[in-house]
Structure 1
Amino acid sequence: MENFNSATGKTEGKIASVEEKPATWGETLLGMGPFLIAPAIFITGFLVTSLFGALKPPPEPILTIVSSILVLIYVGPFLFVLGLGWVKGFPRWSYPYWGIALLFSIWLMDAATPGLRFFGYSFEHDDLWGWRAWIPVALVAVVAFLLSRIRPLRLLAKRLWQDWTRLSFAIYGVLPLAVLLAFDEVHAEEAYVVALNLLLGLGALCYMRSIYTWQRILSLLAGLLVTWAAATVYLAIYWNGRQEPWMDNPGNWVDTALWMNKLGGFLVLILLVPACLGLLRLFVNKIRPLPSA
């Protein structure tokens, strides 16, 4: 039986939680960070577009400088938090950052960003990122390792062994990318994507404030399922009867809903895969010999 003592901030009983008190609100806000990035980017993009739309088209050098500054504004703090999480031994709030950073780097390797200008360098139409996609994450890893050596990696292994939901939280961190994938080719979707990311952020909030393992995984599952259900309804309505130039036939809500359900089921399955680590830990603890008297 588990009981949380609010006076001491500890879990009492036969089975203690890995983290015996909820995360602080500061840690909770950090854990919600990856799900606030898309809203911040869309809002900033809207403001910048509105500003330049009201003025004469600025010279190309100014556009290059502005785009470079905007990239640094978002990428810089993200990489700093990424490294901070490593140096501090991978606390619970750091996992979604690493989840989205690793998956985004994998995706970016085969992606082209034509027209992107970054301090004078312009990407061409067929200019794939390739190995360059890993430069930011690799630099963070090298600097963090030099600052903290091997101890954070040992803590990472220990904490994942004790609490498998941390790995699920890392997987949960890639869901903003899944939302963007689902809304590919959808026009004027910014406001809805912002709302969906905020729903994911609520799931992260509940996760960070939870005490027990079942509460944590339930928070992540609820965040995913509610967000995905809302996205499915929107996309089913959007694509029903719509035909874009690249489509052979008009879309219909049934096919859209089926596709979203399949993808959603896959995401739920992936989110629960780390539970195998928890089962392995239970098995190891069960067969471990008792200490001699």
Structure 2
Amino acid sequence: MKFIQGLYGWLLLLFPRAYREEYGEELQAVFELSVDDALEKGALETVGVVFRELTGLPKAIIHEHLRERRKVKMTGKSASRFDFEPGSGREAFAALTPFLFSMVMVLFGFLARYWTAPIWASIAFVILFWSAAFGLFLLGSAKGLPRWFLPYLGVLLTIASFLLFNILGNFRLDVWWHKSSGWGDDFNFGNFLWIGLILLVFLLLAISRLVPRFRPLYHRLRDDWTLLSFLLYGTIPLMLWLIFDEYVNEEPYFALSLLMLALGGWFYLRNSEPLKRFVLLQIGLALSMFTAAAGKAVLILWSRSQELDFVLKDELFFTLETWVWLALILSLPLALNLLPRAKEQPKTA
């Protein structure tokens, strides 16, 4: 149970600094007392207390940050722990959370095959994972979409692309495509997943340009074109899931591929030159795809399939194709950088 209490203490770090310094110890003490009392009543009561306390934290954290933000507007001073300094370790941790949390979840699923965790620990872990991820997402939205939040938008773009692709599949447009198109064999219908993602990128740019509330994001993307590449970098974890779909014992290679992505993102955040940042993201992508391809090759060879050569070539080609599409999508901001900029209106006295 010390583990759960430690996790709760870690989650308290998500509160604003001023609130945490004033109430943090009290909240921790109350939680520990509640858990100790519940333990005396049984495991079911303990699970209920832990569930109630952890699920209530995201709402409380968001509420306190919004209150802190209102205070900032009135006083002009900020004491929020989430005003990350660019290049700081805290910014890197927040930005790389989608990659690191995905890696932890993959490894947790792998270990669950060989070690049966107590039910309360599994429930607490899942609640912790989604509470932290959802809390950081809401905080990034409330903070005006800072740099560390951009990979989260990439995750949303990927989900939207998957939904769009599934809608096309539900209407059997894939069958229509192969029957009506004279070059259906040369252009796989699955490539519409990537085309949909590209269209969503341009839709995001259009919305950020036309909607006044999101216009600051558009100007930031124009001022530093690598920010859009970093946003699109957040699409890769879900694409890795697509690469390893239907594999068995793929988790170590999946986790290692995610680690390569996290390293690429970390070096991106620590660098100040745009071109070098872009190259670092491409290197992170390349290392991740190479790790995925090597892992798939090992798993296929280990399976001793009767159609070994065909399966190996087909799967490696699919990984290579995914790599090419992702590298192309990460390069889209280069085109944005070449677009003409709107001339600023001269200021009048």
TM-score scaled by length of structure 1? 0.64
Distance in 1 of aligned mates of 2:242 and 2:132: 24
Q: Secondary structure at the residue paired with 2:116?
A: helix
**In the comparison of the two structures, how many residue pairs are matched?**
219
Unmatched tracts of structure 2, length 5 or more:
1-84, 168-210
Verify the 8 A CA contact 2:264 2:281 in the aligned structure 1. Answer: yes
Q: Is 1:174 matched with 2:174?
A: no
- 2:310 paired residue among 246, 251, 270: 251
Q: Is 1:72 matched with 2:122?
A: no
Alignment of 1:2-151 (within 5 A): 23-46=87-110, 50-52=114-116, 69-104=124-159, 106-107=161-162, 110=166
Distance in 1 of aligned mates of 2:302 and 2:148: 42
The equivalent residue for 2:57 is none
Q: Secondary structure at the residue paired with 2:341?
A: helix
Q: Is 1:154 matched with 2:215?
A: yes
1:71 Cα deviation (Å)? 3.7
1:42 Cα deviation (Å)? 2.7
**1:262–1:197 Cα change, 3 Å:** same
Distance in 1 of aligned mates of 2:110 and 2:304: 27
Q: Is 1:284 matched with 2:348?
A: no
Root-mean-square deviation (Å): 3.3
Q: Is 1:197 matched with 2:197?
A: no
TM-score scaled by length of structure 2? 0.54
1:284 Cα deviation (Å)? 2.7
| Percent identity over paired residues | 30
Distance in 1 of aligned mates of 2:99 and 2:105: 11
Between Structure 1 and Structure 2, which shows a larger proportion of helix residues? 2
Distance in 2 of aligned mates of 1:256 and 1:277: 33
**1:48–1:248 Cα change, 3 Å:** closer
1:226 Cα deviation (Å)? 1.4
Unmatched tracts of structure 1, length 5 or more:
1-20, 56-62, 112-149
Q: Which moved more, 1:227-236 or 1:25-34?
A: 227-236
1:70 Cα deviation (Å)? 4.2
Q: Is 1:266 matched with 2:321?
A: no
- Output the amino acid matched with 1:262: E
Q: Which moved more, 1:247-256 or 1:226-235?
A: 247-256
Question: Relative contact order (alpha carbons < 8 A, sep ≥ 6): 1 or 2 greater?
Answer: 1
Distance in 1 of aligned mates of 2:125 and 2:163: 19
Distance in 1 of aligned mates of 2:297 and 2:112: 31
Is the radius of gyration larger for structure 1 or structure 2?
Answer: 2
Q: Secondary structure at the residue paired with 1:52?
A: coil
